[in-house]
Structure 1
Amino acid sequence: MLAKRIIPCLDCDLGVPRGRVVKGIEFKQIRYAGIPWELAAEYDEQGADELVFLDITASHERRETMAHVIEKTASNVFMPLTVGGGIRSLEDARRIFNAGADKVSVNTAALKNPELVNDIARRF
């Protein structure tokens, strides 16, 4: 039997100074649900194997994911951290890795530039 892995995914709006975890249905009627690094610490204490931050507004707003939120989270939790949303280039991936993410999730940009995933994989 394969080992089970528990991987919470937090939908985030990291375009505000402290970042925020949000909840909604089909990305509508979004409501505030907490501070990213505080919820990450709770999941870490509860035994989650990994954590995913998905910045659900970064691509739509054409902005970068806030690296300082990733830095604060990575310095406070001790599990692998995946970050997605707003990763459009090698430089974006580098910035998120340097902030402490273990993995990046490339979404919208991979459809627009199919070579991006290959480029990131070769570089990192």
Structure 2
Amino acid sequence: MLSKRIIPCLDCDLQVPEGRVVKGVEFKQIRYAGNPVELATKYYEDGADEIVFLDITASHERRSTMADVIKKTVENVFCPICVGGGIREVKDYVNMLKAGADKCSTNTAAIKDPSLINRASSHV
């Protein structure tokens, strides 16, 4: 029998220092939905099995992703944390794992550089 896995995904926009969770449809009419650390903590307290943070603007803005948000989250959230968005190089994997993430998700960078997954898994 399969076990349940309830995994909320927080679409984050880090154009403000503390970050913000946003909601939109097809990246249109994006609206503020809450603070990422506070929402992750609430979902954990409500029984989430894992939390996914997807930094929806990191790749487009060519910036690193949300290490500070992850560091603050893992102070209160004790379930697996996955981070995606802006993971382009091995150092990005290392930084996210050091910040407290349990998993890193990669999309565009792995398509552009198929060796990235092998290099990251060998390094971390």
TM-score between the two structures when normalised by the length of structure 2: 0.96
Measured in 2, the distance between the counterparts of 1:113 and 1:66 equals: 22
- Give the structure 1 partner of residue 123 of structure 2: 123
**Number of the residue aligned with 1:88:** 88
Contact 2:55 2:66 in 1 (8 A): no
Cα distance per residue 1:26-83 (max 9 Å; x no partner): 1121111000010001101111000000001100111111311110011110110000
2:10 paired residue number: 10
Q: 2:79: which partner in 1?
A: 79
Maintained 8 Å contact 1:67/1:95 = yes
Identity percentage of aligned residues: 68
* Unaligned segments of structure 1, at least 5 residues: none
The answer (yes or no) to whether the contact 1:15–1:65 under 8 Å persists in 2 is: no
Q: Which residue type is aligned with residue 26 of structure 1?
A: E
- Determine helix, strand or coil for the equivalent of 1:52: strand
Q: What aligned pairs does 1:1-124 form with structure 2 within 5 A after superposition?
A: 1-124=1-124
Relative to structure 1, is the Cα distance of residues 123 and 106 closer, same or farther in structure 2, using a 3 angstrom cutoff?
A: same
Does the aligned pair in 2 maintain the 1:22–1:33 contact within 8 Å? yes
Give, in angstroms, the shift of residue 15 of structure 1. Answer: 3.4
Hey, which bits of structure 1, 4+ residues long, moved more than 2 A? none
TM-score of the superposition, structure 1-length normalised? 0.96
CA RMSD of aligned residues (A): 0.9
Gaps of 5+ in 2: none
User: 1:19 touches 1:69 (CA, 8 Å); kept in 2?
Assistant: yes
For 1:27 and 1:117, the matched residues in 2 are separated by 27
